[in-house]
Structure 1
């Protein structure tokens, strides 16, 4: 008795299989590096390590993450190696739109709105206006084996796009969904800020897969990480729009009205000095902060110097060109002379570009 072939379904399409579990190419002697393989980030030591244009594994064995090498799929008599190769190429290769140190806008294909960091320094939402530093994201890539882990930090406050606390790879407090917030890049949240760019199969649109195998999805009011559902593909699709850099980094804006009193500790350091100095600062004005830092340093710094914020031990330096977030969280500020900006690869996005 001849068995009738099964009709093709969406679940068996190679491209959807690739999104759920990208196959590795055993035939080519490669394996796909997926979470959890051992990864190390170099610990900050001297002032030269406050910003790494491309971080490399460090010698420390005390801070190890757990990344495993995912096993290749089992093959049977009906397996087609060519289709697996095509599915892998479809799932990989979306990182060409994310260049380390460059700036991007992320626009939802479904909503037509832009991913943005909220003024409170911790929330993430969707908005129509892209001509804002809060809507600009700086690319931070970390190379692991044959793969690039994608991290995105806000051009407004330097904090990283991440899932909220409490999730694990197998369980989320809210079921299949995870909240999306901004977090500092410390070792204990490295998994939470790890994303992988995946081709969507629709032009140059991408899907952003989180370490937990949830995908970044926009809705009417905000953004979440959710399990993929191909029936409404556009909800998971993102248009990556490159932002050109400005010719120079702008000065801090003039003080704006602030509601409420925000007093926070500020840890600041000059590039040529290794010690961090702490001071208390009240308010949100970056211009007022600059004036207070100048008086605390005991001399008038170069007026072309730039204040930069570092969000977390392993965070990249971000020029501080907006008012401080509306909270009282501590901030780490570095004062860089103008000749140091090029060495650190620091640029500022031209958010008013057409």
Structure 2
């Protein structure tokens, strides 16, 4: 899918909006100003939900503008449990990096057929939850979860660009849409006035009087790619013990980097086996004790993410793919340069 296939446009932050269904795609129509951002609201043309500015294969960070302008800062962060999502303030951690998959989903038409799937440091995907948010969080919970079926709307996201963001910054509202009932929920940070509240949640958008706030605005940053020798792989995070033993299923990519062979080796490892350094040492046996790069995935349709930190503490089963350094398949790998400015 090329960038020309991605729906683009602008919207109105802080406007009163009404939702209608047109041309097979959900469309938000500006119905007047006076929203959460004051006089910025102005009547605009109808804007379809799309996937801009995301493109498949990108690594991105999502900086919340509401918390940044409040002086707190903070990026969308894959929690070290492997289950939840929060706001993290340390930009250089791989937990703030997400990889983009733009896919065409069954039953859609035109721009409505395309959705964004975001997978994080543990291969799991940013997902909407039907559960109510924790105390102090507005709306519903947000999780990390596997991607098992193409009908799983929980991991599907759409965007509306935020107008007036200026310069070369891409700022979006990130929306989860239930196609069966038309319910739209916006990803938002919490803690505008309380620094300690780093929760992320989903706030329902009223079709007849929707109000977007700064806490729903996400600046899309793109750390550059880099080629990295496996022996110099950067590792962030604590050495996690977890509880009990863990089960690790491993596929070894062939010389060309293909890992579709269904045969897997399964290991039962102690809690210390969550350590990335320990995993690289253990799976070096697949490459004559030479360096390897390890990737992780979650779910039948889950794609790979480079494992650059220890395995999460809250999960017990993992699927890994090992690439052998020095092979053409390994040389084609791309890693996020998480230390780049």
TM above 0.5, yes or no, is: yes
Q: Deviations over 1:283-314 (max 9, x none)?
A: 2211212222334x4x61542x3211111111
Do structure 1's residue 234 and structure 2's residue 232 form an aligned pair? no
Match of 2:250 in 1: 268
Do structure 1's residue 143 and structure 2's residue 104 form an aligned pair? yes
Q: Whose strand proportion is higher, 1 or 2?
A: 2
The change in CA–CA distance for 1:17 and 1:247 in structure 2 (over 3 A counts) is same
Output the CA distance in 2 between the equivalents of 1:136 and 1:269: 24
CA contact (8 A) 1:186 1:312 kept: yes
The change in CA–CA distance for 1:191 and 1:92 in structure 2 (over 3 A counts) is closer
SS in 1 for 2:52: helix
Match of 1:153 in 2: 119
Do structure 1's residue 109 and structure 2's residue 65 form an aligned pair? yes
Higher Cα radius of gyration: 1
CA contact (8 A) 1:252 1:320 kept: no
CA contact (8 A) 1:19 1:198 kept: no
Match of 1:178 in 2: 140
Q: Deviations over 1:45-79 (max 9, x none)?
A: xxxxxxxxxxxxxxxxxxxxxxxxx9x99xxxxxx
CA contact (8 A) 1:139 1:151 kept: yes
TM-fit CA distance, 1:97: 2.0
The change in CA–CA distance for 1:19 and 1:215 in structure 2 (over 3 A counts) is farther
Do structure 1's residue 333 and structure 2's residue 329 form an aligned pair? no
The change in CA–CA distance for 1:331 and 1:14 in structure 2 (over 3 A counts) is closer
Q: Which moved more, 1:234-243 or 1:260-269?
A: 260-269
Aligned ranges 1:223-302 → 2 under 5 Å:
223-228=200-205, 233-248=213-228, 250-251=232-233, 253=235, 256-272=238-254, 273-282=261-270, 283=272, 284-295=274-285, 297=286, 300=288, 302=290
Structure 1, unmatched stretches of 5+, are 1-12, 25-30, 35-69, 74-83
The change in CA–CA distance for 1:286 and 1:14 in structure 2 (over 3 A counts) is closer
Q: Whose helix proportion is higher, 1 or 2?
A: 1
TM-fit CA distance, 1:251: 2.4
CA contact (8 A) 2:239 2:275 kept: no
Output the CA distance in 1 between the equivalents of 2:222 and 2:94: 14
Match of 1:50 in 2: none
SS in 2 for 1:140: strand
Match of 1:21 in 2: 19
Aligned mate of 2:83, from 118, 122, 147: 122
Structure 2, unmatched stretches of 5+, are 1-10, 30-42, 69-73, 179-183, 192-196, 255-260
Output the CA distance in 2 between the equivalents of 1:189 and 1:119: 27
TM-fit CA distance, 1:347: 1.7
CA contact (8 A) 1:267 1:277 kept: yes
TM-score by length of 1: 0.68
TM-score by length of 2: 0.71
Match of 1:216 in 2: 187
CA contact (8 A) 1:176 1:227 kept: no
Output the CA distance in 1 between the equivalents of 2:12 and 2:239: 55
Do structure 1's residue 353 and structure 2's residue 328 form an aligned pair? no
Match of 1:132 in 2: 93
CA contact (8 A) 1:265 1:278 kept: yes
Match of 2:24 in 1: 32
The change in CA–CA distance for 1:348 and 1:107 in structure 2 (over 3 A counts) is same
